[in-house]
């Protein structure tokens, strides 16, 4: 398995390890596991090798790079110069991108080596890693199960050691869901912290790019680079932040679907750990959370139809039947229905944000259950019911590994008020350390 990202960067900058050596490790894992798991849609050996050689040359000249030689996977909806931004569609249904997405340019400037593009639910319109064009992404803990989505390949690549870090996008939970189901860390930052320039949209009201990593400290380092906020690089490990002053609310009994008892038990154990860390935790129910999936559906549907209208007209054969049907259905949503849904979302957002009047954090499960069968995933509601309310609220949220149920990972979700990403990372890091949830 690959070392953690921060260790790779330190070793490459100290010339104890070369970026080319690290790339060879990543390729070995990709060769061994991608054929079955289908995490990566493409691997460009030539450009990755050239990037690694360039990083080694920069380090030899004395440069210190925060992500020197770190293998990174990007989701298939991130613009990459000279490549078509397929976003999970059939290959070649658009013109090649003229420029890298802003977040990608920041990653490569910081020394990251892009090893491949991750498979995803088509257009990010799903939560199970299912795609008629590229195949079903598989869960690395049990390949008969799905890994969650839509950032399916991104989460699997990190969990399976194909990359130390990955970029995902989160609309209704598409970073946090696969992170939970694959046993890694997934962060949805405060909207606007990481630029969406060059990221193919699903629903612009809710889309947020975010990092996936084996541990919170690495996610913090990646966020600092993508956001161009260097102070966030050490936010997770900043012991100057006292946890004794942090107040948290454990949310329960107010979701659109009831979490499985084993998931609730794992969340209760996480709450107990937070209390032992000195955090004051009280129970709270927010009834409006149950309305979130219904409220967000028409907004996502209409905005997705608007975003992809031209491509659907020009390349109708480039979309799967299910996704094309969803886009056509979204196009039929009336202005009145859309505005009513926006009003419903605003009510949910107000209720979530009001909880921060007397708390710093919210705690709840990431998903209501573990991963279901890849061939018969069932309803999507059990995977997004607990994540979409926080998307609506525009709150930063992170999924941290919370153990296993019947051999499959589950996650606990921590949520902070908008703009408090540093505090969120600090608490999540402490929780992961205290529970032994590190990988790598």
Q: Is 148 left (phi over 0), alpha (psi -120 to 50) or beta?
A: left
Question: Mapping DSSP to helix (H, G, I), strand (E, B) and coil, where does residue 142 land?
Answer: strand
Contact 156, 409 (CB under 8 A): no
Contact 110, 72 (CB under 8 A): no
Contact 226, 217 (CB under 8 A): no
**Nearest CA to 359 among 276, 286, 270?**
286
Structure tokens given for 202: 């699903």
β-bridge partners, 81: 97
User: Whole-angstrom Cα distance, residue 358 to residue 368?
Assistant: 26
**Nearest CA to 220 among 8, 422, 432?**
422
The whole-angstrom distance between residue 161's C-alpha and the CA centroid of its chain comes to 16
β-bridge partners, 212: 166, 186
User: Whole-angstrom Cα distance, residue 31 to residue 177?
Assistant: 26
Active centre residues (catalytic):
75, 150, 174
Angle separating helix axes 5-13 and 45-60, nearest 10 degrees: 50
Structure tokens given for 92: 């070649």
Contact 373, 144 (CB under 8 A): yes
The whole-angstrom distance between residue 350's C-alpha and the CA centroid of its chain comes to 24
For the chain, what is the total number of helices (H) and then of strands (E)?
15, 11
Contact 118, 148 (CB under 8 A): no
Taken as a whole, the chain contains a residue count of 440
What residues have CB less than 8 Å from 60, skipping those under 6 apart? 15
User: Whole-angstrom Cα distance, residue 281 to residue 272?
Assistant: 9
Q: Position of tokens 């990083």?
A: 55
């Amino acid at each position: 398995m690959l070392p953690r990202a921060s260790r790779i960067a330190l070793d490459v900058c100290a010339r104890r390890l070369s970026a080319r050596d690290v790339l060879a490790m990543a390729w070995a894992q990709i060769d061994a596991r991608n054929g079955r798991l289908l995490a990566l849609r493409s691997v460009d050996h030539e450009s990755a090798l050239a990037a690694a050689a360039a990083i080694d040359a920069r380090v030899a000249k004395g440069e210190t790079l925060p992500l020197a030689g770190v293998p990174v996977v990007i989701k298939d909806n991130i613009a990459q110069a000279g490549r078509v931004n397929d976003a999970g569609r059939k290959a070649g249904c658009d013109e090649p991108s003229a420029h890298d997405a802003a977040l990608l340019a920041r990653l490569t400037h910081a020394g990251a080596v892009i090893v491949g593009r991750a498979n995803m639910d088509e257009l990010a319109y799903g939560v199970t890693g299912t795609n008629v064009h590229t195949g079903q992404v598989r869960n690395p803990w049990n390949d008969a199960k799905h890994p969650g989505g839509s950032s399916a390949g991104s989460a699997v690549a990190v969990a399976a050691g194909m990359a130390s870090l990955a970029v995902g996008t989160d609309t209704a939970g598409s970073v946090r869901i696969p992170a939970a189901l694959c046993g890694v860390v997934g962060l949805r930052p405060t909207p606007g912290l990481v630029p969406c320039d060059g990221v193919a949209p699903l629903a612009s009201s809710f889309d947020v790019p975010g990092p996936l990593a084996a541990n919170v400290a690495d996610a913090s380092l990646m966020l600092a680079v993508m956001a161009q906020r260097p102070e966030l690089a050490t936010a997770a490990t900043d012991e100057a932040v006292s946890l004794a002053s942090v107040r948290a609310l454990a949310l329960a009994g107010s979701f659109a679907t009831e979490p499985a008892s084993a998931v609730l038990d794992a969340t209760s154990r996480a709450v107990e750990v937070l209390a032992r860390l000195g955090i004051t935790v009280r129970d709270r129910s927010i009834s409006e959370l149950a309305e979130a999936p219904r409220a967000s559906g028409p907004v996502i549907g209409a905005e997705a139809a608007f975003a992809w209208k031209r491509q659907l007209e020009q390349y109708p054969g480039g979309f799967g039947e299910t996704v094309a049907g969803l886009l056509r259905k979204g196009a039929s949503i009336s202005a009145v229905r859309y505005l009513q849904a926006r009003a419903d979302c605003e009510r949910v957002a107000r209720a979530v944000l009001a909880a921060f009047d007397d708390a710093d954090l919210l705690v709840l499960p990431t998903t209501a259950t573990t991963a279901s069968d890849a061939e018969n995933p069932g309803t999507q509601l059990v995977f997004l019911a607990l994540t979409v309310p926080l998307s609506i609220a525009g709150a930063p949220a992170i999924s941290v590994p919370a153990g296993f149920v019947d051999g499959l990972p589950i996650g606990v979700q921590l949520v902070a008020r908008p703009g408090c990403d540093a505090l969120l990372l600090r608490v999540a890091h402490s929780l992961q350390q205290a529970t032994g949830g590190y990988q790598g």
